[in-house]
Amino acid sequence: MAIAALLAHDSGSIPALIRLHAAQRPGHTAVIAGDERLDYAGFDQLMDRVAAALARDGAPVGGVIAIAAQASIGYLAVYLGAVRAGLSVAPLSPGVTAETLAAMVGDAGAAYLFLDAAVGRALDGAAAPVAATRIALDGSTAGRPLADWLAAPGTAPRDVELAPAAPFNLIYSSGTTGTPKGIVQSHQMRWAHVRRGDRVGYGPGAITLMSTPLYSNTTLVSVLPTLALGGTLVVVPRFDAAQFLRLAERHRVTHAMLVPVQYDRILDHPDFDRTDLSSFRMKFCTSAPFSAELKARVLRRWPGGLIEYFGMTEGGGTCILVAHQFPDKLHTVGTPADGHELRVIDEHGREVARGEVGELVGRSPTAMMNGYHGQPAETAAAEWYDATGQRFIRTGDLGSVDADGFFTIVGRRKDVIISGGFNIYPIDLETALVAHAAVVEAAVVGVASARWGETPVGFVVLAPGQAEAPEVLRAFANARLGNTQRLADVVVVSALPRSAIGKVLKRELRTMYAGSAGR
């Protein structure tokens, strides 16, 4: 069947698309990692060997494997080979503690853990052993070497029908709370991402440079459409701005998914203006607040279009801002994607009027999580139903919609500071702080106050060579804020604590402030 005909359907199989590319364009490069390359024929065969090995070992359809390792060609082949075999995949962060990693493997019910030497060393020191069979992707002693475990070349995998509602993967997303939850995403949800990719230039001529970890949904919404639609993926285990620029020029990269802090570092790198980036067709951003100023800088200096996605790993409703088409809406996250719906509700679950601030909830026909793995109460808490019984997913983000249907985000619901009975949105205070010429980044959190219940404290990163006093910065920001918004303190830090995909970890800032001497 032709690829276009498959994509016309609301559901389908990503491994089946890769099989078609292998048949139609076997010599086209699928994946590049350093000096290693694998074409579609070789990648498809490697997926088959993974799928056949799992079937040989009795891994059941509907089972789970876990992967915790640096990105590699083997990682991708194991991921998609397991899916071909009818299993789902739990890609896990190799940077968490051994105890957290072991807990996630156990929670997922994974029979296999594919890992590398670094993760193996970490697990060897864990208090409780991991019961899953270990397979070493890098051929190390962390487990049975992948090359020895794989089925023989040419071994045909079992024929499995991949049901649209069946789990594709479990993404463990701690967000900014620190408590991992397994988000079950279906084949149908992943298929929707592939179909969306077809509309933004992914295809046989696309070359995507990977910039974020493979355990992140941010990465997968770029990686999966690239491979499913016949493009070439350039794999990078760790992000580095200088390396990104070198690889983008060398491989004539057309697509990249980056988080805001990465855009900032790339634009500020001294090699940026002397790097040829003319091959870029489209750049994407998601996962963290993307300021209007930074979007404008990207549009001014970097060839190709710019699209921001606002959504959650849990799915629901996605907003899309095609920034190069709407330069007057850069302060927004755009409008709902086709077939997606977002509404704004108050703390009692009632819809608010247009222009008023409330929590965003969203729904779509296909891009909705099945639920949190093994946590029905958490799943129920993440859902909202309208008067007709339609299911929406709560985003936890506060925002509003303007007269043109564009949504603006003002912050996270849990980050709102209630001081003296007034709601304070940290983004307003952060904007006031970064208006100072010496400040390059700011984050504001609420801390306990005997007088006000909570009071806002700002953390700032200064530009190189700057040494402005915190009290000066506080006075500067407070002069631009209302009486009920004013900062109680400002702390200068060398860097804001961030997750691997660039989210500021405000819980760490609160802990830092609570534990600092003399405050």
Q: Exposed (0-12), middle (13-18) or buried (19+): which is 386, by Cβ within 10 Å?
A: middle
**What average pLDDT does this structure show over 246-274?**
96
Using the 3D structure, point to which of 238, 260, 294 is the last residue of a domain.
238
Domain match, 405 and 423 both:
no
CATH number at residue 394: 2.30.38.10
Span 231-237, mean pLDDT?
96
In this prediction, residue 178 carries a pLDDT of 52
Given a contact cutoff of 8 angstroms between Cβ atoms, the answer to whether 77 and 223 are in contact is: no
Residues 361 and 478 both lie in one domain: no
pTM: 0.85
Number of structural domains, the chain?
3
State the Cα torsion 65-66-71-72 to the nearest 10°.
Answer: -30
In terms of domains, do 437 and 407 share one?
no
Looking up residue 449, the CATH number of its domain turns out to be 3.30.300.30
Q: How confident is the model at residue 176 (pLDDT cuts 50, 70, 90)?
A: very low
Picking from 439, 443, 455, the residue whose alpha carbon sits closest to that of residue 488 is 455
Residue span of the structural domain in which 373 resides? 339-411
Residue 124 lies in a domain: yes
Do residue 148 and residue 79 come from a single domain?
yes
Whether residues 499 and 444 fall in one domain: yes
Same domain as 232, residue 152: yes
Mean pLDDT of 430-456: 92
In a domain, 119, yes or no: yes
Provide mean pLDDT across the span 10-26: 95
Indicate the residue among 411, 443, 473 that finishes a domain: 411
pLDDT the model gives residue 413: 87
Q: Do residues 445 and 473 share a domain?
A: yes
- How sure is the predictor about 452, in pLDDT bands with cuts at 50, 70 and 90? confident
CA atoms within 13 A on the CB side of 212: 27
Residues 347 and 383 in one domain: yes
312, part of any domain: no
Q: Return the pLDDT at 179.
A: 56
- Half-sphere CA count of 220, side-chain side, radius 13 A: 26
Q: Using an 8 Å Cβ cutoff, are 173 and 179 in contact?
A: no
Pair (344, 485) in one structural domain: no
Report if residue 487 sits inside a domain: yes
Q: Answer yes or no: is 307 within a domain.
A: no
The mean pLDDT value of the chain amounts to 93
| CA-based R_g, the chain, Å | 23
Report the pLDDT value the prediction gives residue 501, as an integer from 0 to 100.
78
Instruction: Look at residue 72 and tell me if it is in a domain.
Output: yes
CA atoms of 40 and 452, how far apart (whole Å): 62
Residue 301 lies in a domain: no
Can you say how many angstroms the Cα of residue 228 is from the centroid of all Cα atoms in its chain?
19
Whole-angstrom distance, CA of residue 420 vs CA of residue 398: 20
Residue pair 79/69 in contact (Cβ under 8 Å)? The answer is no
Query: What's the CA angle centered on 404, arms 398 and 405, to 5 degrees?
Result: 40
Q: What is the pLDDT of residue 518?
A: 40
Which tokens hold the place of 290?
A: 């993307």
Mean pLDDT in residue range 495-502: 86
Tell me: do 36 and 109 sit in the same domain.
Answer: yes
Does residue 206 lie within any of the structural domains? yes
First to last CA, the chain: 68
Segment holding 507, helix H or strand E: helix 506-515
Considering 165-169, 175-179, 365-369, 412-416, the range whose residues carry the highest mean pLDDT is: 165-169
Contact 150, 53 (CB under 8 A): yes
Using one digit for the tens of pLDDT, what is the confidence trace for 29-82? 999 999 999 999 999 999 999 999 999 999 999 999 999 999 999 999 999 999
- Pairing relation of β-strands 182-186 and 371-372? antiparallel
Q: Kindly report, residue by residue over 326-347, the tens digit of the pLDDT.
A: 999 999 999 999 999 999 999 8
CATH code of the domain containing 55: 3.40.50.12780
User: In the predicted model, what is the mean pLDDT of residues 306-332?
Assistant: 95
Quick one: average pLDDT of 280-285? 97
Q: Is 188 left (phi over 0), alpha (psi -120 to 50) or beta?
A: alpha
397 with 452, same domain: the answer is no
Q: Are 51 and 152 part of one and the same domain?
A: yes
Q: Which of 388, 411, 434 is the C-terminal boundary of a domain?
A: 411
* Tally: H helices and E strands in the chain: 16, 27
